[in-house]
Amino acid sequence: MKKINVRTVQFDSPSGKPVVADVRSIEDERKKPIVLVLHGFKGFKDWGFFPFVCHELAKHGAISICLNFSLNGYVVGSDKVEYPNDFARNTISLEIEEVRLTVRKILDNSLAELSNWNGNIFLLGHSRGGGVALLAGVKERNSIQKVVVWNSIGTFERFTDRQKRLWHETGTFQVENSRTHQTLGMNLDFLLDIESHSEEFSLYNAAEVLNSALLIIHGEQDMTVPVREAKKLAEQDERIQLHVIPATGHTFGITHPFEQTSVALNSALEYTYTFLGL
């Protein structure tokens, strides 16, 4: 087995902070598809299973590119939010735009040297990253051929009326990162963004548009995003593929730092390889 090369690249975002990405591939003569991997809420490119998954995708013949969204608040080498003010001002619109920027940089050959790319781009998003992948996949459907979502949210409307009222009144919403025990704020701009784009951000509409280009994988025992959200996404078109993995949750039994893979994660990967033709 040839060595998998890892390169870290970055580019400027409208946020004023860089998008940082790890590019993994085997340097041989085969032409390969690109798989853009998107983390979710409170996530980052080096969390838990992401490096392993991206390594495995590369081993199976893809060029994997794993992003850190510019305002996730993390810095390379740290596994906690180092810039809470950046985290607070993030929005869904910005994350979609950063995926689209990445696609444009791939197409104009300014992201990295990708001489062994075969012209196909696929998206793989986990949790909230799945929702972003769905929307970016629709907006860039002339450039993105397939979308895979793992334990994806089915809607961005995840807040009660009382939470939204207090958010409007105070200008912030507090969330806890249970892993790092950090309390993190989210500015009102996040809520205003999803409220003003409620129709545009409909993940059910996005699933219907993507139809046969969409694979949904979900843990049966996901306590963060109930499996009913995955099933409702799949109901939008009979051509959508849905695989519910039994006896596993939101991260397929993986924690951070990563120690070893799991049966559930391996199953998610196998379904993904088949769908993407790897």
Indicate whether 191 belongs to any domain.
Answer: no
Region for 107 from its dihedrals, namely left if φ exceeds 0, alpha if ψ lies in -120 to 50, beta otherwise: alpha
The residue range of the domain holding 249 is 4-157+199-276
Structure-token match 């050959």, residue found: 109
For the stretch 238-251, pLDDT in tens is: 999 999 999 999 99
Domain contains 172: no
Distance between CA atoms of residues 229 and 28, nearest Å: 40
Asked if residue 193 belongs to a domain, the reply is no
Residue-wise pLDDT tens digits, 120-131: 999 999 999 999
Do 188 and 216 meet the contact criterion of CB atoms below 8 Å apart?
no
- Which of 53, 43, 29 has its CA nearest to residue 115? 29
Instruction: Give the number of domains in the chain.
Output: 1
The answer to whether residue 220 is domain-embedded is: yes
H or E element, residue 66:
strand 63-68
- In our burial notation (b when 16+ CB lie closer than 10 A, e otherwise), range 151-180 reads bbbbbbeeeeeeebeebeeeeebeeeeeee
For the ranges 5-9, 25-29, 175-179, 226-230, which has the lowest average pLDDT? Answer: 25-29
Whether residue 81 lies inside any domain: the answer is yes
**pTM metric for this prediction:** 0.98
- Does any domain span residue 171? no
CATH number of the domain that residue 227 is part of: 3.40.50.1820
Banded model confidence at residue 2, pLDDT cuts 50, 70, 90: confident
Residue 182 counted as domain residue: no
Report yes or no on 54 lying in a domain: yes
Q: Is 221 exposed, middle or buried (0-12, 13-18, 19+ CB in 10 A)?
A: middle
